[in-house]
Structure formats: structure tokens, C-alpha cells
């Protein structure tokens, strides 16, 4: 029972946070949110911001799909080993992102996004490290 709840909380948590992150990055892309607030405050131009934001949105969609496949929300036949490797890569990415957020020049990025990416790393670890229960 505990494992099932943990997987559900971790999956739903990742899906919600990544969906919100995609919306956030779309707002940066269309200049609702200034690009100086992201990427550690180190972006030098709007062209650089567009490239970084498009890659970020694409990666977030990919990770969203991986979790949705793992949670069986998307019924796509993907070998479980590929999903497991992708989840471990997500753990690594979110850990590195947390470190990057800590080093950010932007206070909002440091104090809001560091806990979120740390939570994403924990949720990803939960999914990657435990065997998925099979529903009958």
C-alpha cells in the first residue's frame, strides 16, 4: 500500500510541477516574465533566451511523457528499462538543476525553484528506485 501511494504522489507531483514549469517557460518565451529571471540571470540576449527556453520546454514535455508512460496515463509500449533509465536521468538532471538554482544570481530562482527541483529529484528517485506495482 505504501509503495502504491508513493508512486501516485511522486507521479502526480512531477506531472503537476512539470506542467507548471512548461507554463512558466512559455510565459518567459512570450516575454510576460522577463528572461533575466531565468537561467541564473546569465542570458545575454533575447535570441539566447529563445534557444534556451525552447530546449527547456522540449525537455519538460519529454520528462512529462516519461512519467505519464510510467504512470500508465499514456498507453505507449516502451520497454521498462528505457523508462527506468530515463527516470534515473531525470534524478540526475533535477539534482544538477537544484545546484544551478542555488548558484543563481536571481533570488526568486534561488529560493523558489531550488526547492521545486529538489522535490522533482526526490519524486524522480522514488519512481526510479522502486519496482512498480502491477494492477490486476
Cα dist from 99 to 15, 66, 84, 93, 130, whole Å: 22, 23, 23, 10, 25
pLDDT of residue 84: 95
pLDDT of residue 67: 97
pLDDT of residue 130: 79
Cα dist from 100 to 24, 64, 72, whole Å: 18, 21, 31
pLDDT tens profile 24-78: 999 999 999 988 888 877 888 999 999 999 999 999 999 999 999 999 999 999 9
pLDDT of residue 111: 92
Would you list the domain boundaries of the chain?
2-129
**95 in helix, strand or coil?**
helix
**Closest by Cα among 15, 12, 43 to 28:** 43
pLDDT tens profile 125-136: 999 997 754 443
Amino acid at each position: 500500500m505504501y509503495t502504491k501511494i508513493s508512486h501516485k504522489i511522486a507521479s502526480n507531483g512531477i506531472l503537476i510541477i512539470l506542467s507548471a514549469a512548461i507554463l512558466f517557460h512559455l510565459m518567459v518565451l512570450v516575454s510576460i516574465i522577463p528572461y533575466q529571471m531565468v537561467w541564473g540571470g546569465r542570458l545575454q540576449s533575447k535570441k539566447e533566451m529563445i534557444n534556451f527556453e525552447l530546449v527547456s520546454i522540449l525537455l519538460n514535455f519529454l520528462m512529462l511523457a516519461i512519467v505519464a508512460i510510467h504512470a500508465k496515463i499514456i498507453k505507449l509500449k516502451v520497454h521498462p528499462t528505457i523508462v527506468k533509465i530515463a527516470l534515473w536521468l531525470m534524478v540526475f538532471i533535477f539534482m544538477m538543476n537544484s545546484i544551478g538554482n542555488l548558484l543563481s544570481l536571481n533570488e526568486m530562482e534561488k529560493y523558489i525553484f531550488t526547492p521545486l527541483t529538489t522535490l522533482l529529484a526526490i519524486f524522480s528517485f522514488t519512481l526510479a528506485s522502486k519496482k512498480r506495482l502491477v494492477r490486476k
